[in-house]
Chain A
Amino acid sequence: MSETINLTLRVWRQKGPRTQGSLETYKAIDISTDMSFLEMLDVVNEELTVDGKEPIAFDHDCREGICGMCGVVVNGRSHGPEKGTTLCQLHMRHFSDGDTIFIEPWRSKAFPVIKDLAVDRGAFDTLIQAGGFVSVNAGGAQDANCLPVPQEDAEKAMDAAACIGCGACVASCPNASAMLFVGAKVSQLALLPQGKPEAAQRALSMVRTMDELGFGNCTNERECEAECPKEISISNIARLNREYFKAGLFSSVM
């Protein structure tokens, strides 16, 4: 059964990418424990609006944990305290009456703040453009069942493909590394026969682009895996490393 709780919010407010930000304090009163975290922010924003203040900017869209648009750091944890949960699926029943909650944007050199809690994750798109695809034009494909894929490989590929591109891995990593994101995509395509012809090129190009974009490297902190709302395994990073070394040692691709 639902109940209501009162909270104190400490929210990061920042007007733009080049302005100084700060933590501001707001009260969230009579919050139903059945609300999602974003619905709680909606309630606060409605009150701010009526009071003539600017509502808190935050990204969100599907509110069912799949689009990857939402995400903030809640009390130091990406997407908040629940394991395997996006911010939009985090419910207020996981908080207690009287709690103070710190709410901050993803912090990473590669993800500049746009406003308040919204950041620019365009760097992830640039990474996919560097090789996260199979080069096949519409119209040229053979019958789908001409290409059997062992069920276990298909399942592993799907585990990796479940990534929603939210950026929590980067935000959680002390090095702001995008290795889990890149590892997931490289793994998905390396596990499938469709991805094999371009595997070497893909691994080299995506890793090089990751460096250029200002993401750090992986030092096995495992924070990304712990905070990933889709629980993508760091074994995908290991597979990325294998693919990368294999490409560097044995392929003619630069």
Chain B
Amino acid sequence: MELDAKIPGGHLKDKWDRHRFELKLVNPANKRKFDIIVVGTGLAGGAAAASLAELGYNVKNFCIQDSPRRAHSIAAQGGINAAKNYTNEGDSIWRLFYDTIKGGDFRAREGNVYRLAQVSNNIIDQCVAQGVPFARDYGGLLANRSFGGSQVSRTFYARGQTGQQLLLGAYSSLSRQIAAKKVEMFTRREMLDVVIVDGQARGIVVRNLVTGELECHEAHAVVLATGGYGNVFFLSTNAMASNVTAAYRAYKRGALFANPCFTQIHPTCIPVHGTYQSKLTLMSESLRNDGRVWVPRDMGDKRQPHQIPESERDYYLERKYPSFGNLVPRDVASRNAKAQCDEGKGVGDTGLAVYLDFADAIKRDGKDVIEKKYGNLFQMYEKITAQDPYETPMMIYPAVHYTMGGLWVDYNLMSTVDGLFVMGEANFSDHGANRLGASALMQGLADGYFVIPYTIGGYIAGTSFPEITTDHPAFKDTAKEVRERTDKLLSIQGKRTVDDFHRELGLTMWDYCGMGRKDEGLEKAKKKIQELRGEFWENVLVPGNDKDFNQSLERAGRVADFLEFGELMVTDALARRESCGGHFNEAYQTEENEAQRDDENFCHVAAWEYTGDDKEPEFHKEPLDFENVELTQRSYK
């Protein structure tokens, strides 16, 4: 299979304009003749469903939650980047592009990332027009703050609830289209397969989570905006229902999965505190603007933080990276926290935590200022830990947060299956091996508001569609396979619960395919996952039946897919014989313990093709060409 990213020709700055001109158009009166399925209602899905409906297409939109206002984009705290340069610091589209490429450790496409930086400014305009209450300065203009991996303040924010406000903005536009009957909304539906007719994605099979009924839906194109796969680790900052099923089912139907080993471990999360724990909570990266990260200078120092004098503290990020200090990119901050804890300098009961200290910021700016900036985050921390961060430093530790890998897409966001588009975290395209803070919101909304509305038109205008209905055999066959799988899950009636399997899988992934990876560990993980998967299909206990609101059954299907997908991640990690961004193989590091890339052999996207159950997936390579930036060893010193 030849992977053609379809990057338009011409200078980087002109590619998107040129492409928009060259894309075929669907005449306004004809748009109503086409149906588009959008799966997911996060920033990418909600924005796409609304925008496509505004253009005149008939949209069917699906989500697993009870309302399209709840997708996990809502939990993003810190902000959204844009190259507005309102702060007069010398920001530009080029700088945002460069920072994103560099932050991603040179493993993303120049063309995609430049487009992302270009449309970033339109996103802020659009959201303000919707009534998103961004933070403002006294003069009434928009406020900015800085984020990791950048030396300018380009992050727009709405307190610590930026994701919520942006998502509610998209949801409001979506609601307007639902009222206008241009979007048909299906809540509490889980996509369990994609239906392919003559090589084209023409529909999906979903389970109605309330009645248990399997439903078939047809359309002219299918758009997946189903989020990331961080929950393969069981414990992550993702919402409980976030899963890989939609993307993985598409993979099994022929869509290639790109760079699955690229996962982001976020440096500032509340540390793990017990085996019963169901998820991890992130503390926004924006806290690193004012918080100083430190550990005791000496190993095994068990004194309380206020008893440790300045001279016996190690502000290791400021020491090692004087120019970026506490604002180094996430992968660098996470690995350093792990390294400190591995050396025995970790703090707290478990020794798996470092301090994030606001004492100096409070002394400098006053408690009011800090409260205004981070009040809700401090409150959240106190609720969970019963400690007051105004008085005592926060304890933080890295946790799985975001997945840069995803379904392979071309410049049009189309996968290797015709008519199957993938947006947001579910695709792989813009963040390379590491995503910078405040860039996920930017990418989700860019894809939904400003990319897919054009590129899907180009596809529809240039494609002929056979007339089909859900009576087509492809729908019947796919639905039958889904039903058999569900029946199988319910019939096993073994002894171990779904969560029990999930927890064990997560631990294996975290130990061997987490922050630091080794070949022998990855080999071991592969074997362990295969064994666990074998046991799952013989010994899982799923109560209830399929004609009901059955949350155990929902989880069982998701964990079954994670048990296959985890192995794909490990396979990818083993094949990438270098370190870059979030993928850190301990055999490949510089003398200063930074990720050591191998640009000669691994400057590519690794895209995996499903070849059958229990068969090794087939590797495909999309070389990455850098014409505009020079590949360098990332340095944040």
Is B168 in contact with chain A by the CB < 8 A criterion?
Answer: yes
Could you tell me the distance between the alpha carbons of A94 and B610 in the complex, rounded to whole angstroms?
Answer: 50
Could you tell me the distance between the alpha carbons of A192 and B131 in the complex, rounded to whole angstroms?
Answer: 7
Interface size class of B (residues with CB under 8 A): 35 or more
Is B200 in contact with chain A by the CB < 8 A criterion?
Answer: no
What string of 1s and 0s marks CB contacts (under 8 Å) between B125-162 and chain A? 11111110111111111100000000000000011010
Chain A residues whose CB sits within 8 angstroms of the CB of B164 once the complex forms: 66, 162, 164
The 8 Å CB contact of A89, one of B68, B131, B380, is B380
The 8 Å CB contact of A65, one of B159, B380, B495, is B380
**Does A55 lie within 8 Å of B67, measured CB to CB?**
no
**Would you give the shortest CB distance from A113 to chain B, in whole angstroms?**
10
**Does A49 lie within 8 Å of B140, measured CB to CB?**
no
Closest to A137 in B: B54
If A68-B69, A122-B67, A138-B453 touch, does A46 touch B497 (CB 8 Å cutoff)?
yes
Is A132 in contact with chain B by the CB < 8 A criterion?
Answer: yes
Could you tell me the distance between the alpha carbons of A144 and B136 in the complex, rounded to whole angstroms?
Answer: 11
If A54-B543, A133-B175, A145-B86 touch, does A62 touch B239 (CB 8 Å cutoff)?
yes
**Would you give the shortest CB distance from A147 to chain B, in whole angstroms?**
6
Could you tell me the distance between the alpha carbons of A174 and B239 in the complex, rounded to whole angstroms?
Answer: 32
Could you tell me the distance between the alpha carbons of A196 and B169 in the complex, rounded to whole angstroms?
Answer: 16
The 8 Å CB contact of A67, one of B74, B141, B237, B552, is B74
Chain B residues whose CB sits within 8 angstroms of the CB of A89 once the complex forms: 380, 383-384
**Does A150 lie within 8 Å of B165, measured CB to CB?**
no
The 8 Å CB contact of B276, one of A42, A48, A68, is A42
**Does B497 lie within 8 Å of A49, measured CB to CB?**
yes
The 8 Å CB contact of A141, one of B69, B128, B273, is B128
From A31-39, A212-220, A236-244, A245-253, the one touching the partner chain is A31-39
**Does A121 lie within 8 Å of B67, measured CB to CB?**
yes
The 8 Å CB contact of A69, one of B65, B140, B541, B548, is B65
Closest to A151 in B: B136
Considering residues B66, B68, B142, which has the most beta carbons from chain A within 10 angstroms of its beta carbon? B66
**Does A46 lie within 8 Å of B499, measured CB to CB?**
yes
Could you tell me the distance between the alpha carbons of A192 and B495 in the complex, rounded to whole angstroms?
Answer: 57
Considering residues A42, A122, A141, A195, which has the most beta carbons from chain B within 10 angstroms of its beta carbon? A141
Closest to B548 in A: A115
Is B75 in contact with chain A by the CB < 8 A criterion?
Answer: yes
Chain A residues whose CB sits within 8 angstroms of the CB of B449 once the complex forms: 138-139
**Does B131 lie within 8 Å of A195, measured CB to CB?**
yes
The 8 Å CB contact of B135, one of A49, A50, A132, A154, is A154
Chain A residues whose CB sits within 8 angstroms of the CB of B176 once the complex forms: 129, 133, 135
Could you tell me the distance between the alpha carbons of A65 and B187 in the complex, rounded to whole angstroms?
Answer: 21
Considering residues A67, A120, A130, A165, which has the most beta carbons from chain B within 10 angstroms of its beta carbon? A67
Could you tell me the distance between the alpha carbons of A87 and B175 in the complex, rounded to whole angstroms?
Answer: 27
What string of 1s and 0s marks CB contacts (under 8 Å) between B161-183 and chain A? 10111001001110110110000
**Does A141 lie within 8 Å of B129, measured CB to CB?**
yes
**Does B383 lie within 8 Å of A63, measured CB to CB?**
no
If A67-B65, A69-B65, A135-B176 touch, does A158 touch B139 (CB 8 Å cutoff)?
no
The 8 Å CB contact of B178, one of A85, A129, A148, is A129
Could you tell me the distance between the alpha carbons of A121 and B69 in the complex, rounded to whole angstroms?
Answer: 11
Is A8 in contact with chain B by the CB < 8 A criterion?
Answer: no
**Does B274 lie within 8 Å of A32, measured CB to CB?**
yes
Is B386 in contact with chain A by the CB < 8 A criterion?
Answer: yes
The 8 Å CB contact of B72, one of A62, A141, A154, A162, is A62
What string of 1s and 0s marks CB contacts (under 8 Å) between B20-51 and chain A? 00000000000000000000000000010011
Closest to B130 in A: A134
**Does B276 lie within 8 Å of A120, measured CB to CB?**
no
If A133-B130, A138-B449 touch, does A122 touch B187 (CB 8 Å cutoff)?
yes
Is B587 in contact with chain A by the CB < 8 A criterion?
Answer: no
Closest to A65 in B: B380
Chain B residues whose CB sits within 8 angstroms of the CB of A192 once the complex forms: 131, 133
Closest to B47 in A: A138
From B277-285, B421-429, B531-539, the one touching the partner chain is B277-285
Closest to A133 in B: B172
Could you tell me the distance between the alpha carbons of A157 and B134 in the complex, rounded to whole angstroms?
Answer: 10
**Does B74 lie within 8 Å of A66, measured CB to CB?**
yes
Could you tell me the distance between the alpha carbons of A53 and B497 in the complex, rounded to whole angstroms?
Answer: 12
**Does A149 lie within 8 Å of B239, measured CB to CB?**
no
Is A118 in contact with chain B by the CB < 8 A criterion?
Answer: yes
If A89-B380, A115-B549, A125-B67 touch, does A39 touch B277 (CB 8 Å cutoff)?
yes
Is A59 in contact with chain B by the CB < 8 A criterion?
Answer: yes
**Does A49 lie within 8 Å of B543, measured CB to CB?**
yes
Is B70 in contact with chain A by the CB < 8 A criterion?
Answer: yes
**Does A188 lie within 8 Å of B131, measured CB to CB?**
yes
The 8 Å CB contact of A34, one of B68, B139, B179, B274, is B274
**Does A144 lie within 8 Å of B125, measured CB to CB?**
yes
Is A124 in contact with chain B by the CB < 8 A criterion?
Answer: yes
**Does B384 lie within 8 Å of A148, measured CB to CB?**
no
**Does A42 lie within 8 Å of B278, measured CB to CB?**
yes
The 8 Å CB contact of A125, one of B69, B133, B165, is B69
What string of 1s and 0s marks CB contacts (under 8 Å) between B232-245 and chain A? 00000101110000
**Would you give the shortest CB distance from B545 to chain A, in whole angstroms?**
10
What string of 1s and 0s marks CB contacts (under 8 Å) between B67-83 and chain A? 11110101100000000
If A66-B75, A68-B69 touch, does A53 touch B131 (CB 8 Å cutoff)?
no
Is A74 in contact with chain B by the CB < 8 A criterion?
Answer: no
Chain A residues whose CB sits within 8 angstroms of the CB of B175 once the complex forms: 125, 128-129, 132-133
Residues from 85 to 134 in A contacting B, C-beta threshold 8 Å: 85, 89, 91, 93, 114-115, 118, 120-122, 124-125, 128-130, 132-134
**Does A145 lie within 8 Å of B133, measured CB to CB?**
no
Could you tell me the distance between the alpha carbons of A139 and B240 in the complex, rounded to whole angstroms?
Answer: 34
A-B pairs, top 10 by smallest CB distance, nearest first, are A148-B140, A133-B172, A141-B129, A141-B125, A129-B179, A158-B133, A144-B128, A157-B133, A61-B239, A138-B51
Contacts A135-B176, A158-B165 known; 4 new A-B pairs at CB < 8 A:
A57-B551, A67-B72, A124-B67, A141-B126
A/B interface sample: 10 pairs, CB < 8 A: A50-B541, A53-B543, A84-B379, A89-B384, A139-B450, A141-B129, A145-B84, A165-B69, A192-B133, A194-B129
